Structure 1
Amino acid sequence: MLLLEFSHAIQDFIETGGQVLLVIGVLIFVMWLLILERIFYYLRGHRQAVTAAVQQWQSRTERNSWEAEQIRSALISRVSMALGGNLPTLQALVALCPLLGLMGTVTGMIEVFDVMAVAGSGNVRSMAAGVSKATIPTMAGMVGALSGVFATTWLKRVTKRERVTLAQQLALDDSQLQLSA
C-alpha cells in the first residue's frame, strides 16, 4: 500500500514538472550510479591497485635512473587514472543538470504563454500549472547539480590525496633503501 502511494506521488510529481523532469530524474540516477561505483571502487579495488603498484616498484632492483623515475610516474598515473576513471563523465553530467532544468523552465513558460494567448492574462489559475511546470524542473536540476558537485569534488580530492600518498610511498621506499645501505 505504501509503495503504491509512493509511486502515485512520484507519478504526480513528474506530471506536474513535465517530461523534462523525467529526463532530469534519469540523468541524476545515472550520475549517482557512477558516483557510487567510484566510491565502491575506492573502498574495494583501489587498495589492491596501490598494493600491486608498490609491489611492482619494490621488485625493481634499480630505482635511481631516469627510466626508473618514468616507471614510477607511470605506476602513479595508472593508479590515479583508475581511481578517477569516470570523473570527467560525472562532471559533464553535473553540468548537464542545470541546463536541463533551464530547458524545463523554458518549456513551462511556453505553456504559460500559450495559456495567456488562449485564456487571456487574467486567468491566473490556468497559468499556475505552467508556472509549476517551469519551476519544478529548475529545482530538480539544481538539486541534482549541487549533490553531484559535492560528490565529484570529494572524489577529485580523494584522487589527488591518493596520488600524493602513493607518490610518497614510492619515494619513501627509496629513502629507506638509501638509509639501510
Structure 2
Amino acid sequence: MFWLRDKWYDILAFIDMGGPVLWAIFILLFVMWLMILERMWYYSFTYPGERKRIINEWNQRTDTTSWYAKRIKDAKVSEASIKLRSGLGFLESLVAISPLFGLFGTVYGMLNVFDIMAIAGTSNARAMAGGVSKATIPTMAGMVAALSGVFFTTYFKRKAVVEREKLEDRMQSH
C-alpha cells in the first residue's frame, strides 16, 4: 500500500514541476479518457443490442422493397449512424485543444524564467532551471495527451463508418 502512496506523491511532484497549467491538462486528459471509455462501452455493449433490434424490426416488415420502405431503412440507418458518431466531435476538440494547453504552459514557464532574470539581474542557470521545466513539461504533457486521443478518434470514426455500412448491408430486401 505504501507504493501507491509513493506513486501518488511522484505524480504530485511531477505536476508541481510543470506548474498550474499541468492541472488543466490533467483535467482535460481525464475528460478525454472518460469520453474514450464511454465510446468503447457503446461500441462493445450498447450498439450490438441496438443493431440487433433494428435488424429484427426490419426483418419483421412485410414490405421491404417499396419507396416508402427504403426511406424507413435510410432513416433507421441514419439514426444508428448519428448514435455511432455521437460525441466524436467533442472528443476531436479535446484532442485539438491539448497541445494548445501545452503551449500555454510553455508561455507560463517562460514568464517565470523572465521573472527570475528580472529579480536576479543575471542569467543564473540554476535560478532559471525551475522556469524552464515549467515551460517544457506542459508542452510534453499536452502533446502526449493529444497523441493518446488521436488514435482513438481515428479508430472511432472508422468504426462508425464500418458499422453503418454493415447495418445497411444486413437490412436486405425480402
**Which of the five TM-score ranges fits, normalised by the shorter chain?**
over 0.9
Q: So what's the TM-score if we normalise by structure 1?
A: 0.92
2:157 counterpart residue number: 156
Residue by residue over 1:8-45, the C-alpha shift from the partner in whole angstroms, topping out at 9 and shown as x without a partner, is 10111111001110110111011011101111111111
1:111 counterpart residue number: 112
Aligned length: 173
Counterparts in 2 of 1:47-126, with a 5 A limit? 47-126=48-127
Q: Give the 3-state SS of the residue equivalent to 2:149 in structure 1.
A: helix
Q: Structure 2: give runs of 5+ residues left out of the alignment.
A: none
Residue by residue over 1:129-175, the C-alpha shift from the partner in whole angstroms, topping out at 9 and shown as x without a partner, is 111001100100000001101011001111110001111111xx21x
Residue by residue over 1:70-95, the C-alpha shift from the partner in whole angstroms, topping out at 9 and shown as x without a partner, is 21111111112222211111011111
Q: So what's the TM-score if we normalise by structure 2?
A: 0.95
- 1-structure distance, mates of 2:64, 2:122: 78
- 2-structure distance, mates of 1:17, 1:154: 31
Counterparts in 2 of 1:30-41, with a 5 A limit? 30-41=31-42
> Once the 2 structures are TM-superposed, how far is the Cα of residue 48 of structure 1 from its aligned partner?
0.5
- 2-structure distance, mates of 1:122, 1:30: 39
* Off by >3 Å, runs of 4+ in structure 1: none
> Once the 2 structures are TM-superposed, how far is the Cα of residue 56 of structure 1 from its aligned partner?
1.5
- 1-structure distance, mates of 2:69, 2:110: 62
- 2-structure distance, mates of 1:156, 1:147: 15
Q: Structure 1: give runs of 5+ residues left out of the alignment.
A: none
- 2-structure distance, mates of 1:10, 1:134: 18
